[in-house]
Structure 1
Amino acid sequence: MKLFSKEQIYEGDKLTAERQNITSTDLMERAGTQIFNWMHMRMQGAQVPIHVFCGIGNNGGDGLVLSRHLITHGYNVNTYIINCSDKRSKDFLINYDRIKNVTKKWPVLLNCAQDFPEIAPEDIIVDAVFGIGLNRPIDLWVKQLFIHFRKSKAFTLAIDIPSGLYPDQPVKDEDAVVWAGFTLSFASPKLVFFLPETAKFTVQWEVLDIGLDPEFLYTTETHVELIGKNEVLPNYVPREKYSHKGQFGHALIIGGSYGKIGAVTLASRATLTAGAGLVTAYMPKCGYHAIQASFPEAMVITDVDEEIISSISFDIDPTVIGFGIGAGTDTKTAKTFEAFLKTNKAPLVIDADGLNMLSKKKTLLKLLPKMTVLTPHPKELERLIGKWKDDFDKLDKVKAFTKKHQVIVVIKGANTITVFEDKSYINTTGNPGLSTAGSGDVLTGIIVGLISQGYSPLVATIIGVYLHGRSADIAVEDFGYQSLIASHVIEYLGEAFIDLFKQPEQPPQQEASQEEGEAQEQNQT
C-alpha cells in the first residue's frame, strides 16, 4: 500500500474533482458520508452521546457532514465548532449552513476553556478539529480541549489524522495532540502512524475509500510503502517440479565465538528453512560438535582458532554470505573481517558484531559490495549513523547513509522499516514476542536464505522482514508474547509461507438497512 505525502493527497483531491467533474464540496460530502457509514454500521442506532468537535477548515467540514447524517438518522449527537480563527474554508461554511437546515440544535461555538462540554467516559468523541494541513502551533485553550478529551476517558475517533499531529513533522508537545482510539484516514494511512514517537497517538487506524481518481492512485509514485501480504505475494517465486538444491544457492554464515555458537546455529537454521539449497556455517572450533549435533542439515567449516574468528578461509563458492552473528569484536576478528571485505565478491548481509566493527572503523564501509544488507537494532544503528533528534531525522540520516554507501538498511522496531535511498518500506507484521534473544539472528538467516534463492537483496529483505514477523504472529498464538523464543520463529516459518496463499475469511453478509442503502447510493452518486 502506498503512503501518500500531504502534497500528493492535495493533488489527488484536485485531480479527482477535475476528472470526475465534481466540486470539492461534493468530495467532502463523500468523505463525511463514508465516516457516517462506518459509524452507523457499528452503532446500529445506539443512543450513546456523540460529541463531534469541528475545526473551521476542511477537516471540520468533514465533521459537519458526519454530524448532519448522524442527526438525520436519529443519533444523540452534539456538534461543536472550535472557534480558533476568523478564517473559515468555503466548504466548511457550505456545510455549516446545511447542518442548520436539518436541526434546531445548531452547532455550539467554543471560544475558550469555560465553554467545554461535559463528556462522560461512556460517550464518543469525534475529532474533526485539524487535518493534515495544520501548519502552526495551536492555541493554549485548544490544547486544553485536547487534554479535556483525554481526561474524559471517552472513546475518541479521529478523522483522517489525530488533531495536532503533523503528517511530516515530529511532535513537540504531546498534550497538544489528540490521543485517538481509532483514526479513519483518507486515501492512505499516514507515515506518523508507524513511527515509534508518534504511533501512540492512534491505537488503530483504517483507510476509507472516498473515490479518489483511480489513475492518480495507481500511477503516483510514493517514497513510502506499507508492506503486507498483498505486496509480498507478487514477488514470491514458486518452485518448479524438477528443481533441485543446486538451483537455490549455497549460503555461508560466518560468525560465532566461545559462548555464542547458538547465534550461528539459529541463523544457519533460518537460512535453510527460508529456502536456501545448501548452508555452510563457518565458526571457531569450539562450535563444531554443538552445531553438528543440533543442526545436522548444515555443513561446517571451522576456524583455526578454538574460540574466535581469527581467519576466514573456505573452498566453496557461496551465493551469499551472512556475517557477524555472535562473532564478538576481538582485535583479531576485526582484522580478519577487514581482510575478508577486501577480497569478498559475494552479496553480504551483515548483523550484530559485524555492524559494530563497521562502526568502529567506518572506512570499511567503502569495501562493502553494492546492495549489502545491514540489519541493526537501535543502538547499532546509532553507532553507524550517529544520534538523531527525532524519527524524521533518523529516517533522513538513514536515507543519506544508504545513498552514500549504496547499502540497504533495516531499521528494526515494532514497524520495521527497510530503507534504500529515498524509498522506505514499512512492515506490518510482528509482535512484542520478537523482543527476545536470537530473533535478530533468525531475521538475518531468513534474508540470507532468500538472497541465496535468487531474490534481489532489496526484495529479499522486504519479504524476509515480512515473513519473520508473520511467523512470529502465527507462533504467538501458541506461546504468547513472553514465551516466544527465536527457535519458534524458525519452526513456524513454513506456516508463514503457506499463509501467503490463504484467502482471508469473509464475514457473513448482512442485508443493508434502507438508510445504509440510501447513504451508499448517495455516496456513489
Structure 2
Amino acid sequence: MQRIISGKQVKKIDQAYISHAQITSTQLMERAAKAFYQWFCSTFEREKAVGIYVGTGNNGGDGLAIARLLHESGYKVKVIFCGDLNKASEDFSINKNLLPESVGFFPFDAANPPIPEEEIIVDAVFGVGINRPLEGEYLDLINHMNQVRAHRVSVDMPSGLPADELLEGAAFEADYTVSFQFPKFSLLLPEHAKYTGTLVVKDIGIDMGFFDEQESNRFWVGSPKVGALHRKFHAFSHKGDFGKVLLVGGSYGKIGAILLSTKAALRTGSGLVSTFCPSCGVEIIQSGVPEAMVIPGKGEKELAPPLDISAFDAVGVGPGMGQAESSAILLKELLESAKVPMVLDADALNILATHKDWYGFLEGHILTPHLKEFERLAGVCENQIQRLALARDFAIKHQCVLVLKGAHTCTNLPNGDQYFNSSGTPYLGTGGTGDVLTGVITSFLGQGYSPENAAITGIFHHGLAGNIAAKEKLRGMLASDVIEAIPQTYLDLGLG
C-alpha cells in the first residue's frame, strides 16, 4: 500500500530520492509534468484553449513544464503568473527559460484581471507548502480563478488548501485534482470536496521504500496491492475451500436488504451461502437467490433466537433486521458465543450503540458504519479529522476492524493503521449498496481472509464494481447492478 505522508515530509522524500537516483530536482519535476500531461491529454481535446496560472515557487515550475508539454502537443496555451520573478525558485526559472516564446506569459493584475478566454484553467500557484490563509494579490488571484467559467484542474493540490489540516479562508475550487505519487491527507476530507473535485493520483516513480522510512499510519489502497492480498486457490479447490458463510438479517418489508447481502456473497465467490431470516422472507430468498440455503427463524416478521453459527466460517449480521427486542437478544447471543469473525452492519450497529456494555465482545469482528451510525457508536464529531481520530481510537480500544464508510472509505485496524480506499463513485450513494458491501466482506472472511484483508479487499472490490456499473447506469445505478459487476472486478485486477 502507498503510505500517505504529511506535507512537511514531502520535501524530505523528494530530496532523498533525488540523491539516491542521481537526478536533479528539475528532472523529477519533469516526471511530474509528464504524468499530468498524459492524464490531461486523455481527458481534454487538443482544440481546447488552456490558461495555466502559476506562482513563482516549485509548483509554478510544474505549471511551466506542463505549459511547454501541452503547447508542443498542439494545445493553445498561455501562462498567467503571480509573484516576484526576481525571487522565483531555481526550478521555476529553469522551466521559464525552457518555455517557448510563442506561449503567452502575462502577469496577473488584480486591478485589471484578464478577460477569461480559456476553456480549461490549470492551477499551479501553490503546492503542499502553504500553511496559512491566502491574502493580498494571491487571494485576489484565486478569487478571480474561481469566477472563470471553465474546466478547472489543480496540479498536486488546490492552491490555498493546506496539506494536512482543514481549510481556513479561500482556496481554488477544482473540478479535478491531479496529485503526485499519493493523495495528500486533506484531499480525502469531505469538507474539502468542492475544492478537490475528482481526485486523480499519478505515480512519478519514487520507490515505496522512501515512504516507508517516514512515520505515518495512513495508507492509500490501490489496485496492484489489492491483487496481492488475495488468497490463491488451486485446481482441486472445492466449495468447502471457498467458505461457508451465513447472512443474518431481514424483517417484514426489509427482506430485500438481506437478499442483496446474500447474492453479493455468492458473486464474490463464497462456496456455500446460507441466510437466516424471519419466516416471512423464506420464499423471497429462495426464489430471489436459489443458490442460497435458507434457515427460517422462529419469528414470523422479525428475527428471533436461537441460532447456531458453529458450522460457518464467517457471519454477516444486520441488513434489514430491524431493532425489535428479539433482534437485540439474538445479537447479544451471537456476540457472546461467536467463535468465528462477524461483520456487523446497519441495525446490528444501531442495536449495539444502545448497549455499549456489549463492546467488550467486538474483538476480531468488523464493524461497517456510515457516518451517523458511527456517531451513535462513538460520539458526535465536529469534522472528519476528529471523526477519523475517534475511529482509530475505537478500533484500537476494542481490537476490532472499523470501516468508516463514505467517499474514500477508511478501514481502521486494531494496530492503529488507517487504509483509505481509492475505488468508488458517488453513484454508490443509493439504497442497498451498504448491504452489498456486507455480503462482499463476509464472503472474503469466509474464504479465509484475515479481518483486516477481508475489509480492505472487500471495500476495494465493492467500489470497483460501482465504477464498472456506473459506466452505463450513471445516476440510475442500483445496488443489484453493483452485484452483477463484481465478477468483472476480478478480471480488472488480473485475477480471473
TM-score normalised by structure 2 residue count: 0.86
Q: 1:352 aligns with which of 346, 356, 361?
A: 346
Residue in structure 1 matched with residue 126 of structure 2 by the alignment:
130
| 1:355-434 paired onto structure 2 within 5 Å | 355-370=349-364, 372-420=365-413, 421-434=415-428
State the alpha-carbon separation in 1 of the partners of residues 346 and 90 from structure 2.
Answer: 54
| Cα 1:105–1:270 shift into 2, 3 Å | closer
Whether the 8 Å contact between 1:431 and 1:469 is mirrored in structure 2 is yes
State the alpha-carbon separation in 1 of the partners of residues 202 and 246 from structure 2.
Answer: 46
State the alpha-carbon separation in 2 of the partners of residues 434 and 93 from structure 1.
Answer: 42
In the TM superposition, what is the alpha-carbon distance from 1:136 to its structure 2 partner? Answer: 0.9
Q: 1:162 aligns with which of 158, 163, 179?
A: 158
In the TM superposition, what is the alpha-carbon distance from 1:366 to its structure 2 partner? Answer: 1.0
Residue in structure 2 matched with residue 114 of structure 1 by the alignment:
111
Q: 1:265 aligns with which of 253, 259, 269?
A: 259
| Cα 1:181–1:439 shift into 2, 3 Å | closer
| 1:298-317 paired onto structure 2 within 5 Å | 298-314=292-308, 316-317=310-311
In the TM superposition, what is the alpha-carbon distance from 1:134 to its structure 2 partner? Answer: 0.2
State the alpha-carbon separation in 2 of the partners of residues 502 and 24 from structure 1.
Answer: 38
Whether the 8 Å contact between 2:8 and 2:129 is mirrored in structure 1 is no
- Alignment of 1:471 with 2:446, yes or no, is no
Whether the 8 Å contact between 1:258 and 1:308 is mirrored in structure 2 is yes
Counterpart of 2:149, as a letter, is K
Residue in structure 2 matched with residue 55 of structure 1 by the alignment:
55
Counterpart of 1:133, as a letter, is G
- Alignment of 1:148 with 2:144, yes or no, is yes
- Alignment of 1:242 with 2:243, yes or no, is no
In the TM superposition, what is the alpha-carbon distance from 1:443 to its structure 2 partner? Answer: 1.2
Q: Runs of 5+ in structure 2 lacking a partner?
A: none
Whether the 8 Å contact between 1:170 and 1:391 is mirrored in structure 2 is no
Whether the 8 Å contact between 1:3 and 1:191 is mirrored in structure 2 is no
Whether the 8 Å contact between 1:56 and 1:92 is mirrored in structure 2 is no
Counterpart of 2:114, as a letter, is P
3-state secondary structure, aligned to 1:113: coil
State the alpha-carbon separation in 2 of the partners of residues 39 and 497 from structure 1.
Answer: 28
Residue in structure 1 matched with residue 90 of structure 2 by the alignment:
91
In the TM superposition, what is the alpha-carbon distance from 1:105 to its structure 2 partner? Answer: 9.3
State the alpha-carbon separation in 2 of the partners of residues 399 and 27 from structure 1.
Answer: 35
Spell out, residue by residue over 1:169-191, the C-alpha distance to the aligned partner (whole angstroms, 9 max, x if none): 12233xx1112244343332333
| Cα 1:213–1:347 shift into 2, 3 Å | closer
State the alpha-carbon separation in 1 of the partners of residues 324 and 334 from structure 2.
Answer: 15
Spell out, residue by residue over 1:130-178, the C-alpha distance to the aligned partner (whole angstroms, 9 max, x if none): 11000111105422322211222133332221101122112233xx111
State the alpha-carbon separation in 2 of the partners of residues 248 and 75 from structure 1.
Answer: 53
Of stretches 69-78 and 469-478 in structure 1, the one that deviates more from structure 2 is: 69-78
In the TM superposition, what is the alpha-carbon distance from 1:423 to its structure 2 partner? Answer: 2.6
Whether the 8 Å contact between 1:19 and 1:213 is mirrored in structure 2 is no
Q: 1:171 aligns with which of 157, 167, 173?
A: 167
Spell out, residue by residue over 1:2-34, the C-alpha distance to the aligned partner (whole angstroms, 9 max, x if none): 153223321211112322344545544654576
- The root-mean-square deviation of aligned C-alpha atoms, in Å, is 3.5
Spell out, residue by residue over 1:215-248, the C-alpha distance to the aligned partner (whole angstroms, 9 max, x if none): 5257767533333432222222243222222223
Counterpart of 2:62, as a letter, is D
3-state secondary structure, aligned to 2:111: helix
Of stretches 342-351 and 196-205 in structure 1, the one that deviates more from structure 2 is: 196-205
Residue in structure 2 matched with residue 333 of structure 1 by the alignment:
327
| Cα 1:51–1:272 shift into 2, 3 Å | closer
In the TM superposition, what is the alpha-carbon distance from 1:81 to its structure 2 partner? Answer: 3.6
Whether the 8 Å contact between 1:3 and 1:190 is mirrored in structure 2 is no
State the alpha-carbon separation in 2 of the partners of residues 499 and 25 from structure 1.
Answer: 35
Q: 2:189 aligns with which of 187, 195, 198?
A: 195
Residue in structure 1 matched with residue 486 of structure 2 by the alignment:
493
State the alpha-carbon separation in 1 of the partners of residues 154 and 333 from structure 2.
Answer: 55
State the alpha-carbon separation in 1 of the partners of residues 25 and 218 from structure 2.
Answer: 27
Whether the 8 Å contact between 1:24 and 1:91 is mirrored in structure 2 is no
State the alpha-carbon separation in 1 of the partners of residues 468 and 40 from structure 2.
Answer: 31
Residue in structure 2 matched with residue 15 of structure 1 by the alignment:
16
Whether the 8 Å contact between 1:346 and 1:369 is mirrored in structure 2 is no
Residue in structure 2 matched with residue 511 of structure 1 by the alignment:
none
Q: Runs of 5+ in structure 1 lacking a partner?
A: 504-525
TM-score normalised by structure 1 residue count: 0.82
Whether the 8 Å contact between 1:15 and 1:213 is mirrored in structure 2 is no
Counterpart of 2:2, as a letter, is K
3-state secondary structure, aligned to 1:247: coil
Of stretches 89-98 and 450-459 in structure 1, the one that deviates more from structure 2 is: 89-98
State the alpha-carbon separation in 2 of the partners of residues 307 and 104 from structure 1.
Answer: 75
| Cα 1:459–1:91 shift into 2, 3 Å | same
| Cα 1:337–1:51 shift into 2, 3 Å | closer
State the alpha-carbon separation in 2 of the partners of residues 270 and 200 from structure 1.
Answer: 33
3-state secondary structure, aligned to 1:198: helix
In the TM superposition, what is the alpha-carbon distance from 1:208 to its structure 2 partner? Answer: 4.9
Residue in structure 2 matched with residue 285 of structure 1 by the alignment:
279
State the alpha-carbon separation in 2 of the partners of residues 28 and 300 from structure 1.
Answer: 59
Residue in structure 2 matched with residue 82 of structure 1 by the alignment:
82
| Cα 1:99–1:233 shift into 2, 3 Å | closer
3-state secondary structure, aligned to 1:197: helix
Whether the 8 Å contact between 2:250 and 2:258 is mirrored in structure 1 is yes
In the comparison of the two structures, how many residue pairs are matched?
494
| 1:219-234 paired onto structure 2 within 5 Å | 223-234=217-228
Whether the 8 Å contact between 2:245 and 2:270 is mirrored in structure 1 is yes
In the TM superposition, what is the alpha-carbon distance from 1:454 to its structure 2 partner? Answer: 0.5
Of stretches 220-229 and 149-158 in structure 1, the one that deviates more from structure 2 is: 220-229
Of stretches 344-353 and 203-212 in structure 1, the one that deviates more from structure 2 is: 203-212
In the TM superposition, what is the alpha-carbon distance from 1:348 to its structure 2 partner? Answer: 1.0
